Amino acid sequence: MLYQNYKYLNNKKYMLIFIILIICFIFFYSCGIFDKIISNDLSIEQSNNIISDVKKKDFAIVSVTTLSSESITNFSRDKMETYILNLIDVGIDTIILSETATTPYGNFSNIYYPSIMAESNKRSDFISNKDVVENLLYTAEKLNIKVFIGLNNAPEWSIIHASNSIWNSTQSEIAAKMATELTSLYKAKYPNAFYGWYIPWIMSNSYIVYQPEHSAELLNLYMEALHKVDSTIPVLFSTLLENNFPATKTAEVFNTILQSVKFSNGDIYCCIDALGTGTMRIDSLDYYYKKIAEIIKAKSELSFWTGCETFNYSSGKGTALDCYVNKLKIAKKYSDIIVAYSYTKYYAPITGAIPSIHFLYKDYYETGNVAKTIAPDMPKISTTKINGQNAISVIINSYQQTYCIDKIELYMNDELIKVFNNTTRLLSFTEYKVSYFLSLDNLKDGSKIIFKAIAYDIAGNESQIGIYKYT
């Protein structure tokens, strides 16, 4: 009898538990909680896949890029998400936001987040774009992207550098107050995206050799100020590696500077190659990296990253991909993390233009091989008389069978008279047609003109020379 009562009560208890579980299931399902859990698990899995893809590549790739606040000022969150997804497509999981304010001589001329300090210390031409930082962090948190937040920059840096102690102190104090505001606003709200600080002042090794004391002073002021705000947030700083001084001398002076700076575990130094600006030779780069890496890796608290410029200063365009990959291969010998300065500006879609070179790099990211593109067809040149004027229109036509034409150069009697830059950047099988007005007033009767045209694509391929004789 006792056993039967116990069995009855025990069964009743299990039935009660079962009924409670059903009620909980119905409640959670109606609230969409299971959907959120599943969605979160998927996003975590997708993010892990992105990161694991980056890590398991056995060839040199970019995983970090710089991004200017100005370039994303008018981005909605939807556009920001589309843009960042393009970066994820090529293995980029970290963004360095280059600056969040401009503070010439200690006064704010612009700000990219809601700052009480900026409002009380602003110039007459002050501009506020207070949603930029949060829009980026919101999207980065959603897509599991890490962000290093750049602090204050100033146009006089190119003249002063770190040579003025008062200026150094003023700018570092502003940076500390900005860091306090940014931490209060966003660290808890976007805990995964809010990853680190970035010091926007980039010194060249040439300057460091000339001004080691001032260079150390500025760096120390920033490190101490930012670590006081939150010692758990890593700080990233960088220098430009030029070949104006021997690599051994550069490493020696840099080592002296680093000994006087108080770093914390997790801080990062990024060495930028300066090949884009033309002040470093690619045949010298390997040895410079080697000497600097030896110094950095001796400091256990510092991580060493390499930075590769994506642009060609003389042309103002992106570096040809095969040249860029050669730089990446050298950089990878000394660091698994390579920063693109700047993939976002020269390779990725950021303004709505079709990013042809992005697809070239994406193909490389997926295969490890730089696609062999076909050079543009030889330009065809023709002329037409302009009615009522002593002038002609020179018409140039060229096709590109793989990606797109970057520019066409027009020569008259072997003298360059016009460069046509392709701003449309359309994709494959593209015709690029341009025309040039030429007055004949200053030409002698019977003068012979020989026109030549060369087309270049975005991969750096050069067409054969198109020739046309006008008499």
Distance CA 80, CA 76 (A): 6
Can you give the residue range of the structural domain that contains 12? 2-31
Residues 184, 248 within the same domain? yes
Q: 388 pairs with which residues across the strands?
A: none
Among 335, 367, 399, the domain-final residue is: 367
Pairwise CA distance, residues 307 & 340, whole Å:
6
Q: Residue 388 falls within a domain, yes or no? A: yes
Q: Could you tell me which residues come within 8 angstroms of residue 102 by beta carbon, excluding any fewer than 6 positions away?
A: 108, 109, 110, 152, 153, 154, 155
Query: Checking DSSP bridges between strand 194-198 and strand 146-150, what pairing results, if any?
Result: parallel
What CATH code is carried by the domain that includes residue 161? 3.20.20.80
311 and 415 housed in the same domain: no
Among the three residues 344, 367, 390, which one is the final residue of a domain in this structure? 367
Specify if 372 maps to a domain: no
Taking a C-beta distance cutoff of 8 angstroms, is the pair 175, 118 a contact? Answer: no
How many domains in the chain? 3
Whether residue 121 is found in the same domain as residue 197: yes
Same domain, yes or no, for 363 and 385? Answer: no
39 within some domain: no
One domain, residues 276 and 199? yes
Domain closes at, from 336, 367, 398: 367
Assign residue 391 the CATH number of its domain.
2.60.40.10
Residue 42, in any domain of the structure: no
For residue 284, tell me if it sits in a domain: yes
My answer on whether 112 and 220 are in the same domain is yes
Whether residue 233 is found in the same domain as residue 131:
yes
280 is a domain residue:
yes
409 shares its domain with 332: no
Residue 54 falls inside a structural domain: no
* Amino acid 443: pLDDT: 81
Residue 337 and residue 269 share a domain: yes
| Below-70 pLDDT ranges, the chain | 1-56, 314-316, 349-356, 401-403, 423-430
Is residue 124 in some structural domain? Answer: yes
* Domain match, 179 and 276 both: yes
Shared-domain flag, residues 442 and 320: no
Q: Give the Cα separation of 349 and 93 in Å (integer).
A: 16
> Which among 198, 299, 222 is positioned nearest to 258, based on CA atoms?
299
Q: 27 and 73: one domain?
A: no
Which of 151-181 are b and which e, b meaning 16 or more Cβ less than 10 Å from the residue's Cβ? Answer: bbbbeebeeebbbeeebbebbbebbbbbbbb
